[in-house]
């Protein structure tokens, strides 16, 4: 058999540039998925593989291609310009080492459902007040019911509390009795502290101040027993007269302010938050008028609005009842309210979260 005509046929075929085993010329330039991911984020479009059309040189990264001359290729790659219209590919005979997919592999690189990050509000969900009162007071137009964010304060005397139930009744925050003087801890403190957090309630701890102990040792005792915890509300110093205390001595106003300052400064240095001052009308009248203008106040006022009992004093929390009733608690409970809107509550809590 004579073969002299075969070279001429091959040269003619190559000159026409249309004889590559019968395949589509564009199939040699189809983008293939890359195995590289930057910062563990999947690319939004196909990225060329390290080798194109059988060459051994690595592909130029996208940033370098973007700086190349502007003369466009006949069909731009997906990551460098406009994506071409979808093309249908027919099954063809292929040379070994050049598989061509039936469809362009774009969908495989895009997650079916992008992850959505939900950031909860710092103050948590606010539940509406559903407390009852064994001795209700008519506060008129200045009723605490008109304020949005209610809460409670508790000690051993409330017994075993169902904190999850209490929260749904309107306990959006809780101040929990921790310590007295320099050597006493409320036996329910650790349990209440843990369970209130588990229920999603914002909580802070309070210390009942004794005037017969030094301020420094009382601060040390509180710090020893109350954890420094991100997200906790500021610590509270409870200053009032207590006829049931073994400490019957009443110190001068000057001594009261001095002791309080020492105690609060030590707590502020340790917890990184300025303590809240809790007090009652008679103690405030004798000792605290005009004092500590830069500290937040939590005021007891169960017969009238705080503006009538504590004139000219700004306040953050108002204890408006000592005879509250609620599902989740067998005994009577103190009821309180935050002085602000729901949005202001979230902002205030967020400022204490760091």
- The structure's pTM equals 0.67
Average pLDDT over residues 58-74: 43
Tens of pLDDT, residue by residue over 99-133, are: 444 444 433 333 333 333 333 455 689 999 999 99
Q: Where are the alpha helices (DSSP H) in 57-198?
A: 62-66, 163-168, 189-198
Q: Is the pLDDT of residue 219 over 70?
A: yes
Q: Which residue has the tokens 């502290």?
A: 193
Helix, coil or strand: residue 164: helix
Helix axes 253-271, 215-225, angle to 10 degrees: 30
The CA-to-CA distance between both ends of the chain, in Å, stands at 91
Q: Residue 95 above 90 pLDDT?
A: no
* pLDDT on residue 342: 97
User: Who's near 52: CB < 8 A, 6+ residues apart?
Assistant: 28, 29, 59
Question: Known catalytic residues?
Answer: 240
Does residue 353 register a pLDDT over 90?
no
* Distance in angstroms (rounded) separating the CA atoms of residues 302 and 142: 13
3-class DSSP state for residue 193?
helix
Give the pairing of strands 173-180 and 202-208. parallel
Domains and CATH numbers, the chain: 137-351 (3.20.20.80)
What is the arithmetic mean of pLDDT over 210-214? 93
Q: Give the pLDDT score at 354.
A: 62
Please give the C-alpha separations between residue 41 and each of 82, 96, 108, 200, in angstroms, as whole numbers.
Answer: 22, 33, 14, 33
Q: What pLDDT does residue 123 have? A: 60
Q: What backbone phi and psi angles, to 5 degrees, belong to 326?
A: -155, 145
What's the average model confidence in pLDDT over 323-332? 96
Q: Report which of 181, 354, 343 is spatially closest to residue 259, judged by C-alpha positions.
A: 181
Asked whether the predicted pLDDT for residue 326 surpasses 60, the reply is yes
Quote the pLDDT of residue 247: 75
Inform me whether the pLDDT recorded for 225 exceeds 70. yes
Please write the tens of the pLDDT for every residue from 161-192.
Answer: 999 999 999 999 999 999 999 999 999 999 99
Burial degree of 106 (CB within 10 A; 0-12, 13-18, 19+): middle
Q: Two tokens at 128? A: 């509406």
Q: Does 1 or 43 have the greater pLDDT score? A: 1
Which of the pair, 322 or 55, is modelled with greater confidence?
322
How far, in Å, CA of 264 to CA of 206, rounded? 12
pLDDT at 249 over 70: yes
Q: What is the DSSP letter of 41?
A: B
**Residue in the structure block whose two tokens are 């930057």:** 38
Q: Is pLDDT at 290 greater than 60 in this prediction? A: yes
* Least confidently predicted of 72-76, 137-141, 196-200, 210-214: 72-76
More confident site: 335 or 105: 335
Contact 238, 207 (CB under 8 A): yes
Distance, C-alpha 309 to centroid of its chain:
37
pLDDT digits (tens, 9 = 90+) for 136-161: 999 999 999 999 999 999 999 999 99
pLDDT(42) > 60 = no
């Amino acid at each position: 058999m004579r073969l002299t005509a075969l070279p001429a046929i091959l040269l003619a075929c190559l000159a026409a540039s249309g004889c590559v085993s019968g395949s589509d010329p564009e199939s040699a330039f189809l983008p293939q998925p890359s195995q590289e991911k930057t910062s563990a984020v999947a690319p939004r479009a196909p990225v060329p593989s390290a080798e194109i059309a059988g060459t051994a040189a690595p592909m130029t990264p996208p940033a370098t291609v973007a700086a190349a001359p502007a003369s466009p290729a006949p069909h731009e790659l997906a990551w460098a310009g406009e994506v071409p219209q979808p093309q249908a590919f027919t099954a063809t005979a292929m040379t070994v080492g050049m598989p061509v997919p039936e469809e362009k592999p774009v969908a495989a690189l895009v997650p079916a459902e992008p992850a959505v990050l939900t950031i909860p509000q710092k103050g948590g969900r606010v539940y509406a007040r559903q407390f009852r009162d064994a001795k209700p007071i008519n506060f008129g137009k200045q009723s605490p019911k008109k304020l949005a964010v209610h809460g409670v304060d508790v000690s051993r005397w409330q017994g075993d509390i169902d904190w999850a139930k209490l929260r749904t009744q309107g306990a959006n925050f809780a101040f929990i009795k921790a310590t007295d003087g320099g050597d006493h801890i409320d036996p329910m403190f650790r349990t209440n502290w843990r369970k209130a957090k588990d229920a999603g309630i914002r909580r802070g701890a309070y210390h009942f101040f004794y005037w017969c102990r030094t301020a420094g040792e009382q601060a040390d005792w509180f710090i020893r027993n109350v954890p420094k915890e991100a997200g906790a509300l500021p610590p509270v110093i409870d200053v009032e007269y207590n006829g049931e205390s073994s400490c019957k001595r009443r110190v001068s106003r000057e001594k009261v302010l001095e002791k309080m300052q020492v105690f609060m400064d030590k707590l502020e240095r340790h917890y990184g938050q300025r303590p809240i001052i809790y007090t009652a009308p008679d103690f405030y009248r004798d000792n605290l008028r005009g004092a500590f203008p830069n500290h937040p106040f939590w005021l007891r006022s169960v017969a009238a609005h705080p503006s009538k009992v504590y004139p000219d004093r700004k306040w953050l929390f108002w204890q408006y009842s000592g005879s509250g009733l609620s599902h989740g608690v067998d005994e009577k409970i103190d009821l309180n309210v935050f002085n602000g809107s729901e949005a202001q509550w979230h902002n205030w809590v967020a400022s204490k979260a760091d």
